[in-house]
């Protein structure tokens, strides 16, 4: 499919550096004193080469969701693609699901969830900061266009989840334990609670509260590490640098029969 007026595209130079631009008929793109009319990119094949006025060559591509997320304007820190990918399977996001998330942040998780639930599912976001909410909605519209199955509530999710029989709840906020009572009420049985937390004390607290709620079982916590490799002639080795830490994922399942809480033994 050829690149269209109004689309966002990425230009990638020979060193792999990425520059984002929104295509607008009649406009000119400038880079290091060199230019190219947008009209020369509009109508080009996705993945073709373009040459700027001074001879600089770029590959032009419609960004994948992961590429778009890493380059889009950010308010809050986004969830990295390695974790977004993991969340999709460990929270078991499926077409048709009703998924509640908080907060919306920059919208990276929201877009990932929207693509996975498809047109028959829906995503409901809770967010306390208006500036982040606005930025996220712009980011989502820029990549997905008009979305009919996304709802945003501008409120603290711990104060109430309006939706009932929620299939999955994904929390990327600092105090997810405050949301556990609402999660117990709003999630359907068999539903999944997932929280994304950067530090160990936070993880300990959310797990204790999940265990103490008596409504959740199969509670597990893990992290994912993605180590990039350099494959270049005989230099076949891990890259020298990597993102060593993002956050821990804690997943829990809402059960019909409250799980027995270990009694404290008086000795
Ligand atoms: N998942 C997002 C990033 C979220 S950053 C992304 O991928 O882009 C955390 C967000 O949670 C911030 O926007 C913050 O304002 C919001 N937040 C924090 N506590 C909240 C609460 N109790 N209810 C709703 N939103 C909350």
Kindly state whether residue 191 falls inside one of the protein's structural domains.
yes
3-state secondary structure of 136: helix
Confidence band for 257, pLDDT divided at 50, 70 and 90:
confident
Question: Domain check: are 142 and 21 in the same one?
Answer: no
For residue 25, give the CATH number of its domain.
Answer: 3.10.330.20
Instruction: Tell me which residue has its CA closest to atom 19 in ligand 1.
Output: 173
For residue 129, give the CATH number of its domain.
Answer: 3.40.50.150
How many structural domains does the chain have? 2
3-state secondary structure of 108: helix
- pLDDT of amino acid 1: 86
Kindly state whether residue 265 falls inside one of the protein's structural domains.
no
Question: Domain check: are 85 and 194 in the same one?
Answer: yes
Question: Domain check: are 90 and 20 in the same one?
Answer: no
CA of 104 to the centre of ligand 1 (A): 5
CA of 233 to the centre of ligand 1 (A): 44
Kindly state whether residue 3 falls inside one of the protein's structural domains.
no
Kindly state whether residue 266 falls inside one of the protein's structural domains.
no
Kindly state whether residue 192 falls inside one of the protein's structural domains.
yes
State pLDDT tens for residues 166-214. 999 999 999 999 999 999 999 999 999 999 999 999 999 999 999 999 9
Instruction: Tell me which residue has its CA closest to atom 11 in ligand 1.
Output: 103
3-state secondary structure of 39: helix
Question: Domain check: are 106 and 190 in the same one?
Answer: yes
Mean pLDDT over all residues of the chain?
Answer: 95
Question: Domain check: are 174 and 44 in the same one?
Answer: no
Question: Domain check: are 30 and 149 in the same one?
Answer: no
Question: Domain check: are 191 and 220 in the same one?
Answer: yes
Kindly state whether residue 261 falls inside one of the protein's structural domains.
no
The reported pTM is 0.94
Question: Domain check: are 82 and 33 in the same one?
Answer: no
Question: Domain check: are 15 and 141 in the same one?
Answer: no
Question: Residues lining ligand 1, CB < 6 A?
Answer: 76-79, 102-103, 105-109, 126-129, 132, 156-158, 172-173
Question: Domain check: are 56 and 137 in the same one?
Answer: no
| Most ligand 1 atoms within 8 A of CB, residue of 65, 71, 72, 76 to mutate | 76
- pLDDT of amino acid 266: 63
Beta strands in 52-204 (DSSP E): 57-61, 98-102, 122-126, 150-153, 166-171, 187-197
Question: Domain check: are 100 and 202 in the same one?
Answer: yes
Domain that holds residue 230: 67-254
Pairwise CA distance, residues 96 & 114, whole Å: 10
CA of 6 to the centre of ligand 1 (A): 29
Helix (H) or strand (E) holding 49: strand 48-51
State pLDDT tens for residues 226-248. 999 999 999 999 999 999 999 99
Contact, 171 vs 194, CB < 8 A? yes
Kindly state whether residue 217 falls inside one of the protein's structural domains.
yes
CA of 17 to the centre of ligand 1 (A): 29
CA of 112 to the centre of ligand 1 (A): 15
State pLDDT tens for residues 53-109. 999 999 999 999 999 999 999 988 999 999 999 999 999 999 999 999 999 999 999
State pLDDT tens for residues 26-63. 999 999 999 999 999 999 999 999 999 999 999 999 99
Kindly state whether residue 242 falls inside one of the protein's structural domains.
yes
Degrees (nearest 5) of the Cα angle 86, 108, 39? 125
């Amino acid at each position: 499919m050829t690149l269209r007026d109004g689309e966002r595209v990425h230009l990638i130079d020979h060193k792999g550096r990425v520059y984002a631009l929104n295509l607008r008929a009649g406009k000119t793109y400038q880079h290091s004193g060199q230019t190219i009319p947008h009209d020369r990119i509009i109508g080009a094949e996705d993945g073709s080469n373009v040459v700027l006025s001074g001879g600089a060559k770029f590959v032009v591509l419609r960004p994948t969701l992961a590429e778009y997320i890493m380059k889009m304007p950010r308010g809050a820190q986004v969830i990295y693609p390695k974790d977004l990918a993991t969340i999709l399977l460990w929270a078991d996001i499926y077409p048709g699901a009703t998924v509640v998330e908080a907060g919306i942040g920059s919208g990276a998780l929201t877009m990932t969830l929207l693509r996975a639930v498809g047109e028959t599912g829906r995503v409901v976001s809770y967010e306390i900061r208006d500036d982040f909410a606005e930025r996220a909605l712009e980011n989502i519209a820029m990549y997905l266009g008009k979305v009919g199955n996304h709802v945003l509530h501008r409120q603290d999710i711990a104060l109430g989840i309006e939706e009932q029989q929620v299939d999955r709840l994904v929390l990327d906020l600092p105090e997810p334990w405050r949301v556990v009572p609402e999660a117990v009420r709003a999630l359907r049985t068999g539903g999944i609670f997932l929280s994304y937390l950067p530090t160990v004390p936070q993880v300990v607290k959310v797990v204790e509260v999940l265990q103490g709620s008596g409504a959740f079982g199969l509670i597990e916590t893990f992290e994912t590490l993605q180590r990039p490799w350099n494959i270049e002639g005989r230099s076949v080795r891990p890259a020298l640098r990597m993102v060593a830490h993002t956050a821990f994922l804690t997943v829990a399942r809402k059960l019909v029969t409250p799980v027995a809480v270990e009694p404290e033994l008086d000795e």
